Amino acid sequence: MQSVAFLSLLFIFRSYNQHAHLFISFPINLFIKMTINSIKSSLLLAPLLVLSISALSQDAKPVENKKYLSQPLVKHIYTADPSAHVFNGKIYIYPSHDIEAGVLENDNGDHFDMRDYHILSLDKIGGKVTDHGVALDIKNIPWAGRQLWAPDAAYKNGIYYLYFPVKDKQDIFRIGVATSKSPTGPFKAAANPIKGSLSIDPAVFTDTDGKSYMYFGGIWGGQLQRWRSTSYNLKGEEPKDNEPAMGPRVARLSKNMLEFDEPVEEIKILDKDGKQLLAGDHNRRFFEASWMYKHKGKYYFTYSTGDTHYISYAIGNSPYGPFVYKGIILNPVQGWTNHQSIVDFKDKTYLFYHDTQLSGKTHLRNVKVTELVFNKDGSIQTIDSVQDK
């Protein structure tokens, strides 16, 4: 019996590591629980179990006979969550800076313990990428506690603004803002977070009329489920599967770009029949990674579905929505997370994203870019980041 369990365990973990993309929707906690229960009678297998679970949770090995669509933009540091913008005819990328912090992996994302931001730039797609060094360090944010996650940037009034989520001293995610005269920093952080801000993944969109909006939010480690009421609830949970899914948040920014100019609103994402997506619809519901893009007068709200690993989009007629789900921009990449931005540059549109090609570890990622193509009807051609050789 023990030998059967042993061989089964080896097969399961080997299959998971080699074909992780086929297991992406299977809850890891349930998988581990089932595996432990199946072999709990054998203490001799405990060391193997520990090692195997570590390999399952951390490694994301590519599938054989496949090739990557794009290569990492930089290899000397780990980068993720790329927010790309065009300033003064050049592309600037504002990514997270992944590090090996020695924090155990969990569903709250504690292992994503980033501590500063590096800003990248390039003059042309495929050209040399410059790392401009540390633009903002967590030690220089007066109110910050830990975990400097996915940022974004904007330009107005002759000033560059860097927006960032970080946990405060009470371990609650808030969104802060820092300013600089240069797109590469260094940035000086405001003394306090933006009033009314919460959760993670700020994305700032400036419309053609000059008004700017911030989109933000993320469930699980992003804590959005703890804000289902007007106050923070540590024990807050997601809606039930048959209830409407939680939506991202949006607020118009003030003219000085340092605060909200109105109360925060929840965005609704609808199906083709006009019904709000349900919390149990993991293939389509919002999880994190908001990004707004405008194309031919329509507002494209793009986002990650999180535990099913799609980058999806929904279209609306207003920056506030509602947005109707339309499809998938990017299929699952190597690694658990993904995070996108879309930018127009020299008559083409590009999608920036990340995967784990360099490290094979979900918390040590690398940013990439590929062209984004629209069909005549306004739909977006789905991208596969890993393709057949």
Strands annotated E in 192-287: 203-206, 212-216, 249-252, 265-266, 269-270
Report the C-alpha gap between 74 and 129 in whole angstroms.
7
Contact 111, 93 (CB under 8 A): no
Catalytic residue list contains 243: no
Report the C-alpha gap between 1 and 19 in whole angstroms.
27
Contact 310, 304 (CB under 8 A): yes
Reading the block at residue 368, the tokens are 């990439």
Note the maximum CA span of the chain.
71
Report the C-alpha gap between 186 and 116 in whole angstroms.
11
The active-site residue, picked from 105, 288, 307, 355, is: 288
Q: Which of 146, 141, 211 is nearest to 176 (CA)?
A: 141
Catalytic residue list contains 288: yes
| 49-to-5, 37, 42, 248 alpha-carbon distances in Å | 11, 12, 11, 38
Count other Cβ atoms within 10 Å, centred on residue 135: 23
The amino acid at residue 383 is I
Report the C-alpha gap between 301 and 235 in whole angstroms.
29
Distance in angstroms between the alpha carbons of the first and the last residue of the chain: 41
Residues with catalytic annotation? Answer: 81, 288
